[in-house]
Amino acid sequence: MSLIQFRTLPGRSQRDDVRQVFEQFFGQAFPSTEAAGWSPRVDVREEAERFVILADVPGVDPQSIEVEMDQGVLTLSGEREAEASGENAGYIRRERASGRFQRRFTLPDSADPDAITATGRHGVLRIDIPKRPQATARRIQVQ
């Protein structure tokens, strides 16, 4: 087996090429976050009666985070303000991102969009998405 060096076309990045491959196979299931300044890390868990999303949003006021549900897609968006950074700020290193963020999640049909709740505490946003009661199959008599 031989190794082949991967080269992108001039004016394109590897990220553009990877995004194009994902869009070809999955459509727009992976929305672009280029307009966003950063993206919070999340944990998504399924429990017997609900889904739970935990998003790390340190430094963001929970009241300023927008949680929207539209056509089966849950969207989290907000902004972390940048600290003033003048010439005399004294920074040696800056790693904490600031600016707008947005995350989207496609919810299954079993999610109840009318009962979603969100709470923020200690830099973690918790979103509880209850499941709808499952309809049981019933036998219909043909007459």
Dump pLDDT digits (tens) for 69-117. 999 999 999 998 877 666 667 778 878 888 899 999 999 999 999 999 9
Which of these, 100, 105, 102, lies nearest to 29 by C-alpha position? 105
CA–CA gap between residue 37 and residue 59 (Å, rounded)? 14
Residue 141 lies in a domain: no
pLDDT mean across residues, the chain: 81
User: Nearest to residue 58, comparing CAs of 41, 43, 72, 73?
Assistant: 41
pLDDT at 143: 85
Q: Phi and psi at residue 114, in whole multiples of 5°? A: -85, -10
Print the domain residue range for 95: 36-84+91-130
Q: What mean pLDDT is predicted for residues 43-67?
A: 94
Residue 22 — pLDDT band, cuts 50, 70, 90? low
Write the CATH number for 54: 2.60.40.790
pLDDT tens track for 122-131: 999 999 999 9
pTM score? 0.66
Say what percent of the chain tops pLDDT 70: 71
Q: Would residue 79 count as lying in a domain? A: yes
Residues 127/31/98/63 CA torsion (nearest 10 deg): -30
Tokens coding 9: 């076309």
Q: Give the chain's domain count.
A: 1
Residues comprising the chain, all counted: 143
User: Is residue 19 situated within a structural domain?
Assistant: no
Give how far the C-alpha of residue 10 lies from the chain's centroid of Cα atoms, to the nearest Å. 31
Is the pLDDT reported for residue 34 higher than 50? no
